[in-house]
Amino acid sequence: MSIVYLNGEYLPLEEARISVLDRGFLFADGVYEVFPSYNSKPFRLNEHLSRLDNSLAGIYMSNPLSKQEWAAIFAEVIARNAGRHQSLYLQLTRGISPRDHLFSDDIKPTVFVMSKPLEAKTSNAGIAAITREDPRWKHCDLKTIALLPGVMLRHEARTQGATEAILYREGRLTEGAASNVFVISDGVVRTPPRSRAILPGVTRDLVVELLRGDKVECREEEIDIRALDSADEIWITSSTWEIVPVISLNDRVVGSGEPGPLYRQANALYQDIKENY
């Protein structure tokens, strides 16, 4: 049985309860993080906690816990759950109060952490994706729990026989419904730059760092959506999916129709870090 952390207590998932007046439930008034723990150690924890601070500041909340307190909670949740590699989820909402758009400053945030075993990666063979105009708001750099656009986009992808929706705004690539995107042409790897239009993905940053360390040209720059049509490879990245090759886009084959050589290089670098972590 899965053990979760809720507001200071460790308890079975089935026993974790929150009020219907929680602002997360009523307004999606909260933020979250997802990160893997490899060999029972949270991966890139500082990066995830820095992004959490940025998301909290962006919605006018402060972090109720120190880095040490967060680390202690994660260590306990990891120890109490099964799996050498786990996927950790943390959510912070503004807390419980009578329903009113305007929040008062003295409410206590709701703090929740859960974990599930990280499944072995099955996507090395590649996935199909679709493209869609990005329907989201102008603060996509904040990891908020308001995920309805992502939910709808993933559903649309599935109805087209695909796994992910790759998004664009004013003709330029932004990111996936729940991933960052990379476009590879002529041996050069490109990904859209950090901005409010995308979530600064921790996996994205690591992939850029690993490739540059391996002497691959890797650019963070605006990418015209038309670049997808002539790409040799397309990848998406996220903490739980790692690096995934997109081998079909809008029912058209990408590159050779198979995971490409730069994907294999990037994935090998990533797997090496993971296994030795």
Catalytically active residues are: 143
The encoded tokens of residue 109 equal 């945030």
Minimum distance from CB of 172 to ligand PDD (Å)? 16
Nearer to ligand PDD, 45 or 216 (CB): 45
CB 19 within 8 A of CB 30: no
Q: How far is the CB of 145 from ligand PDD (least distance, A)?
A: 9
Comparison of 97 and 179: residue with beta carbon closer to ligand PDD: 179
* Nearest to ligand PDD of 109, 201 (CB atom): 201
For residue 100, what are the β-bridge partners?
none
Nearer Cβ to ligand PDD (166/262): 166
Q: For residues 99 and 216, is the Cβ–Cβ distance under 8 A?
A: no
CB within 8 Å of 134: residues ≥ 6 apart: 140, 167, 168, 169, 174, 197
Q: Using CB under 6 A as the criterion, which residues of the chain lie in contact with ligand PDD when the complex forms?
A: 34, 175, 178-180, 199, 201-204, 237-240
Closer residue to ligand PDD (CB): 38 or 103:
38
Q: How far apart are CA 163 and CA 151, in angstroms?
A: 12
The distance between the two most distant Cα atoms of the chain, rounded to a whole number of Å, is: 57
CB of 271 to ligand PDD, least distance (A): 16
Structure tokens at 10: 């460790």
Beta strands in the chain (DSSP E): 3-6, 9-12, 30-38, 41-42, 86-93, 110-117, 127-133, 164-169, 172-176, 180-185, 188-191, 218-220, 233-238, 242-249, 252-253
In the block, which residue shows the tokens 């990280």? 118
Burial 64-88 (b: 16+ CB within 10 A, else e): ebeeeebeebbeebbeebeeebbbb
